[in-house]
Amino acid sequence: MQSLRERSEVRPRAGWMVMGKRGRPSALEVCRVLAVFLSLFPSVSLQCKILKCNSEFWASTSNSGPEEEFCTALRAYNSCVRRTARTCRGDLAYHSAQHGIEDLMSQHNCSKEGPTSQPRARTPLPPPPPPLLPDSQQRSDGPELCHYERSLPRNTSPPNYTHCGFFGDPHLRTFGDDFQTCKVEGAWPLIHNKYLSVQVTNTPVVPGSLATATSKLTIIFKNFQECVDQKMYHAETDELPAAFADGSKNGGDRHGANTLRVVEKVPGQHVEIQARYIGTTIVVRQVGRYLTFAVRMPEEVVNSVEEGDNQDLYLCLHGCPANQRIDFRNFEARAAEAHSASRTRSSSGAHGFTYQSAKAKCKERLPVEDLYFQSCVFDLLSSGDINFTMAAYYALEDVKMLHSNSKRYHIFEKDEKNAAQGGRDLLSLFLLNLLTVLLWIGCCTVHL
């Protein structure tokens, strides 16, 4: 039996497709997904003009027509998207459209050379009726290759699972267990590999402050062999759906569709997405007005990078860029000093919390003074939003559910200091050994 890595080498490129009749994507279904996806990114439509390209292509392919006419519309769509390259190159929607065009050209045997006349608008067909077959609960889980652990070769060691979390103001716990506090206002990618992409959008919590929190989250699960169709999940403030963007709750019409499903734990507050075909579990919550994200993923999937793809900007893998990080420990130290200097006046912070009252409130839910506790204190001082207490609490609860090493549930400041000191010690040892070698070479040269 092939491993996930072996199968990923022989499978077709993970593309942008929705399966239709006989496993081939319907242009109508493809365009629907494009329309839904791009309508969720208003900034894209303003800056990249992707929405205009999409609407023209949608108008030309709403009704079935000759294959040659479809190819003409597809080439026109390709030309339109290429004209947006300068303003959209770093946007997830732009790259999704690129992959979609490439896949559709291949599946419909369209030549890249040919007429690209503007498509003729047509009256769109009404949406198709819902399928008669019930959703995932009555389908088989599919073949073994659609179950990550079952698909691994026998007598191999169990996979090593890693965890990434993103919550609060916002705080990031990377796959490598680094804990950071970041600014990252606007849209940022958390994860991007051969199997899925995750992007968050962060907005300011308080006008004029560096504090931001997640107001939107988009997850794209790419189609995978005979297991699942491509699916998109999108959540934003006050809208935490219990289904994918197309209304389904599983991975489509394939035999292994049930290995990808959305499970609503608490309506409007807590959703879990299970992707067993890649051994991945994702938890999305709304706490107060903002979203939290947590994932459990095998190392093999984490490191399944597309060839030539630059991973430096994906936060869960490498953390926030240095110029986007906030040292909340210094912030707390200044707050503690300010509290000590003004306690005779019993003054509160700018947002209603003093350093001591913030600590007392966080202590109610987070008795262990680890970095989750400290992030809670930071969030209360910087925003005054008491809901951030629960965001830190649930982030730690998700760690306990998703992290594979119980000894690493809590992260302490001393852990990071020790890690930094360890790095300095290794560097010192290296330099000492290098100096010894140079002195030895020098002595040998003198004797000769």
> Which of 47, 52, 40, 46 minimizes the C-alpha distance to 76?
52
Residue 2: the pLDDT is: 52
Residue 108 confidence (pLDDT): 80
Instruction: Please choose, from the candidates 310, 84, 71, 289, the residue with its C-alpha nearest in 3D space to the C-alpha of residue 189.
Output: 310
Residue-level pLDDT, tens digit, the chain, 448 residues: 455 655 554 443 443 433 333 444 554 555 555 555 554 544 444 455 676 777 677 667 655 467 778 888 888 888 888 888 777 766 676 777 777 788 788 778 888 777 776 444 344 444 544 443 444 333 445 678 899 998 888 888 889 999 999 999 999 999 999 999 999 999 999 999 999 999 999 999 887 777 899 999 999 999 998 899 999 999 999 999 999 999 999 999 888 899 999 999 999 999 999 999 999 999 999 999 999 999 999 999 999 987 766 656 789 999 999 999 988 666 555 555 544 444 433 444 445 799 999 999 999 999 999 999 999 999 999 889 999 999 999 999 999 999 999 999 999 886 554 444 444 444 444 455 555 555 656 555 655 5
Query: Would you state the pLDDT for residue 306?
Result: 74
Q: How crowded is the C-beta side of 207, counted as CA atoms within 13 Å?
A: 0
Residue 165 and residue 176: Cα distance in Å, rounded?
11
Q: What is the pLDDT of residue 142?
A: 63
Give the position of tokens 């916002």. 170
Residue with tokens 């986007």: 324
Distance CA 66, CA 82 (A): 25
| Secondary structure of the chain in HEC code, one letter for each residue | CCCHHHHHHHCCCCCCCCCCHHHCCCHHHHHHHHHHHHHCCHHHHHHCCHHHHHHHHHHHHCCCCCHHHHHHHHHHHHHHHHCCHHHHCCCHHHHHHHHHHHHHHHHCCCCCCCCCCCCCCCCCCCCCCCCCCCCHHHCCCCCHHHCHHHHCCCCCCCCCEEEEEEECCCEEECCCCCEEEECCCEEEEEEECCCEEEEEEEEECCCCCCCEEEEEEEEEECCECCCECCEEEEEECCECCCCCCCCCCECCCCCCHHHEEEEEEECCCEEEEEEHHHCEEEEEEEECCEEEEEEEEEHHHHCCCCCCCCCCCCHHHHCCCHHHEECHHHHHHHHHHHHHHHHHHCCCCCCCCCHHHHHHHHHHHCCCCCHHHHHHHHHHHHHCCCHHHHHHHHHHHHHHHHCCCHHHCCCCHHHHHHHHHHHHHHHHHHHHHHHHHHHHHHHHHHHC
Distance, in Å, from the CA atom of 382 to the CA atom of 377, rounded to the nearest integer, reads 9
Residue 253 contacts residue 229 (beta carbons within 8 Å) = yes
Burial of 305 (0-12, 13-18, 19+ CB in 10 A): middle
Give me the pLDDT at residue 288, please: 95
CA angle 388, 377, 204 (to 5 degrees): 50
In angstroms, the CA 169 to CA 192 distance is 22
pTM of this prediction exceeds 0.75: no
Residue whose tokens read 């597309």: 306
> Would you say 180 and 164 are in contact if contact means Cβ atoms under 8 Å apart?
no
What is the C-alpha end-to-end distance of the chain, expressed in Å?
Answer: 62
